[in-house]
Amino acid sequence: MLVVTGGAGFIGSNLVRALNAAGRSDILVVDDLRDAHKVLNLSDCRIAEYLDMHDFLSRITAGQDLAPKLEGIFHLGACTDTTEWDGRLMMRANYEYSKQVLQYATACKVPLVYASSASVYGAGREFRVSEECERPINVYAFSKLMFDRHVRKVAASFRAPVVGLRYFNVYGPGEAHKGKMASVIHHFNEQLKRGDEVRLFTGSDGYADGGQLRDFIHVDDIVAVNLWALERGGKSGIFNVGTGQARSFNDVANAVLKWHGRGQISYIPFPAHLQGSYQSYTRADLSGLHAAGYSASFIPIEAGVPRYLDAVATV
């Protein structure tokens, strides 16, 4: 059996669907369904069992068996709201919870693949998996970095591979329930459903209007790296997962406009509450991932945006 925490969420449900496509349905999904809208992400999936995250946490802290044969854990469950400033909530959900999952995986001698985040790099210009590049600028990023640091600290105790994946800006089907934290592609698409313009931020940190640069990666690529990380065996490690390309919000908006065949871009003032806690530039350094043996190419936005919009248009 495989465990997928956050399995009803955006990336988790896409991972479950990919496992189904590979012939696996012996999957235990763990999630928090207080927002039950995201259960729709699993409506076409086959799973063996579901556990509420609190019940799951109680069972693993008690050392109970989850299945006769547990083969691995994908730990994607987290509070992903980068604008949340309740530090106690964030550290419980992203740090303490993750430590318990790691301890359980280590005790059971099963591989763990977990979601970290490119937010740990903050406002820097280098995105290497190196402590000198890690400068979080919000509590979400801090919670993710603290777990990465914990993983590094206890690495000698691992009895199976532990792989952390630092996701850059992920987009794709299944993210609608995330609301304000959904990708800009989702928001641009929704704006064009209601009107004839997409709204981007004016310039910040020296960038022109809509010129801020991010590494946008399709969820299919994220899923592919997760499956590779579990299947590869071998050494533990923390890896960036992005395309290795920095693209402007203008580029992304134009890809959405092209798919719709209409519309225009307008610019709104950069929000005051994001000043000092916003990444205006990201670009994954993929040298570590490539050195570990991952060689598949990544989907550029010119192909990824229409793939995404085609998929949601048929739902």
Catalytic residue annotation:
140, 178
Assigned token pair, 289: 């991932």
**Cα gap 201→250, rounded to integer Å:** 10
The alpha carbon of 201 is separated from its chain's Cα centroid by a whole number of angstroms, namely 23
Strand partners, 201: 268
Nearest to 282 by CA among 248, 255, 308: 248
Query: Looking up tokens 């012939």, which residue turns up?
Result: 23
Nearest to 174 by CA among 39, 1, 31, 30: 39
Helix/strand/coil for 130: coil
Query: Looking up tokens 């999936």, which residue turns up?
Result: 45
Nearest to 184 by CA among 122, 245, 123, 253: 253
Query: Looking up tokens 């992304």, which residue turns up?
Result: 252
Q: Give the DSSP per-residue string, 43-101.
A: TT---SEEEEHHHHHHHHHTT--S-SS--EEEE------TT---HHHHHIIIIIHHHHH
3-state secondary structure 81-95: CCCCCCHHHHHHHHH
Half-sphere exposure of 154 (CA within 13 A, CB side): 18
